A and B are shown apart, each in its own frame.
Chain A
Amino acid sequence: MQRMVIQRIIIGIITLWVVSVLVFVGTSVLPGDVAQIVMGQSATPETLAAYRAENGLDQPLYMQYATWLGGMFTGDLGISKAGGATISSLIGGRFGNTMFLAGVVAIISVPLSIILGLLAAMYPATWIDRVLTFGTLSLISVPDFFIATFMVLIFAVNLGWLPAIAHISPEDTMWQTIRASAMPLITLIIVVSAQMIRMTRAGILNVMNSPYIEMSILKGVRRNRIIVRHAFLNAIGPIVNVVALNLAYLVSGVVIVETIFAYPGLAKLMIDGVQTRDLPLVQACAMIFCGTYVILIILSDVAAILSNPRLRNPK
């Protein structure tokens, strides 16, 4: 078992390394000379050379990569092309905001979806199940910004309860912060929960098909007891897997939601960076997002291995 977990973690580290190469090379093969783009057409050959030397652009690509990767580990992420601030200072505050968003979403949506998923599985083919299945299917097939648009329409325009733009500053009181970030939170909770409810329901129904459930039905155990004592406990493994996977999906949801509500988080920073083609900034943000994603996927794999005796002791 330990061997399998360690193996999985090593594969994860290798993936992270491949990801860093992809991010670096992918953004470094820009057509055109970076120094020329930054300094403009009027730059003399001397200033261009000086810029290259200063930013290490005169070195071969693998040396640049080594410097960049080293900087990643020591927290020296370079300097933003727009404005000239250090990237770590730009990311610092934003990172906290995004973590707040993701954290609150996780705390609310995980128990909510497990309960609803369980409900749907306990009463299959009843109206609860039908409403949940059709509702979640519709929700996962529409884009995140569709849900966000309707949130704005209902809560900001028609009811006027919540602001459509999430202004957040450190001086805000707790209540103001919650009110300002309510819309991004609700949108993300809906997006993530829909997927999680479906997977929880499928996981439990899958367990319900196994022989030991049939056995307990035959020996006369009550239905609710079967689900809670036999099915749910055996479905915990797949469900933990689902939870980790969906927290990883949060990464892409955050990009859209932060943009639509102008929420001052990491993803908004990255999109702004993409629009101004601020490479070092985009690279740093991409590494943070992809790193989080890969780590969550590894966690979900490890959870699956730990919770399933058959995976724990492979033949």
Chain B
Amino acid sequence: MTDKTANTEDMSVYDELPDAPPKKKIKLTWVGKLGVSVVLFWVLMVFIGPYIAPFHEADIIAYDSFMPVWSETEGEGFHVLGTDYIERDILSRVLWGARTTIGISFLATMFAYLVGVTLGIGAAVAGGWVDMIFSRVNDAILSLPSIMLGLLIVVALGTSIPILILTASVIYAASVYRIARALGQDIMVMDFVEAARVRGEGMWYIITREVLPNAIMPLATDFGLRLVFVVLFISSLSFLGLGIQPPMADWGSMVRQNLDGLGYGSYAAVWPALAIASFTIAINLIVDDVSASEGGTLARKMIS
């Protein structure tokens, strides 16, 4: 008998145990699959967008601003989605913007998760005064509207991409902390954690082997929602002219810059707005679908 077969046999033995972990199979409806394909499309664009875009994001190539959809600049090529307020190609800027908007939001959400989950699970496991202090500070941050906090930080520290990422991650780490702590507390009172403690396992083992694996699914779902909030937050700041600075293309500021074009019958502001909407709605559809297949309890938790 080779090692391989021995392994598979071992697995099947575990499967028959009464306390075997339930097999997690996520079944998506067609709505969820649609969401997944839209998100995958944009993720692909984050990586290849700038390479397949016909022009550079900062190139002023056309002879006219607010050119209509599918117009041509002689000698340069077609503007599939028209041109913007200073004669740049919209399609190229939307493709470049995917990298800026999604990339920055993703980084910020990752940082928020790193900080929020570490502190949240830490507070739940440690309890006592550590939990007390963290939670009070957290309440203060959560008691401010996020856009106000963003504005205050921007006025104090100025606008740059690192500060933007820092701002978004601090603000959203607070809400991640709250969820991670609540999940951690629920799991800490379970029998299997008790059993691990009685076995004499250390804190590190309990956190990494008992608590985290059981918190991962709800956290993953929440990650999607949080990413949507961060995208909306960063685009809103950019929209106000306080986020990503020109000439970098980013969806929020593109809407703002081309808003006047609506009056001249140009749809330049609509495309980046649609890009944001398609990305965020798609994520929400996936999250809704996953929560529905988990009995919907998650969705209810997220609302409160």
Query: Which A residues have a C-beta under 8 Å from some C-beta of B?
Result: 15, 18-19, 22-23, 26-27, 29-31, 137-138, 140-146, 149-150, 152-153, 156-157, 164, 198-199, 202, 206, 248-249, 251-252, 255-256, 259-260, 270-271, 273-275, 277, 279, 282, 286, 289-290, 293-294, 297
Contact = CB atoms under 8 A, between A and B. Distances in A.
Contacts, number: 137
Contact of A270 (B151, B284, B285): B151
A202 B143 contact: no
B277 A141 contact: yes
A255 B232 CA distance: 14
Interface residues of B, number: 44
B239 interface: yes
B140 A18 contact: yes
Contact of A282 (B151, B228, B255): B151
A55 B262 CA distance: 45
25 contacts: A15-B140, A15-B143, A23-B152, A29-B156, A141-B284, A142-B273, A143-B252, A143-B273, A143-B280, A144-B236, A146-B277, A149-B255, A149-B273, A152-B259, A198-B303, A199-B303, A249-B145, A252-B147, A255-B236, A256-B239, A271-B240, A279-B155, A290-B143, A294-B143, A297-B143
Contact of A138 (B139, B155, B281): B281
Nearest to B258: A149
B143 to A, nearest CB: 5
Specify the main secondary structure of chain A where it touches its partner: helix
Given A26-B152, A157-B263, A137 B239 contact: no
Contact of A293 (B143, B235, B240): B143
B38 to A, nearest CB: 12
Closest 9 CB pairs of A and B: A141-B280, A252-B147, A142-B277, A18-B140, A141-B284, A252-B145, A146-B273, A141-B281, A251-B145
Given A149-B255, A149-B269, 6 more contacts: A27-B156, A143-B239, A150-B270, A202-B300, A252-B148, A255-B151
A19 B144 contact: yes
B288 interface: yes
A140 B302 CA distance: 14
A26 B240 contact: no
Nearest to A164: B263
B259 A260 contact: yes
Interface of B: 139-140, 143-148, 151-157, 228, 232, 235-236, 239-242, 252, 255-256, 259, 262-263, 265, 269-270, 273, 276-277, 280-281, 283-285, 288, 299-300, 303
A255 B144 CA distance: 14
A137 B255 contact: no
A157 B146 contact: no
A146 B143 CA distance: 26
Nearest to B140: A18
Contacts of B277: 138, 141-143, 146
Contacts of A294: 143
Contacts of A273: 155
A213 B255 CA distance: 48
Contacts of B285: 137
A286 B239 contact: no
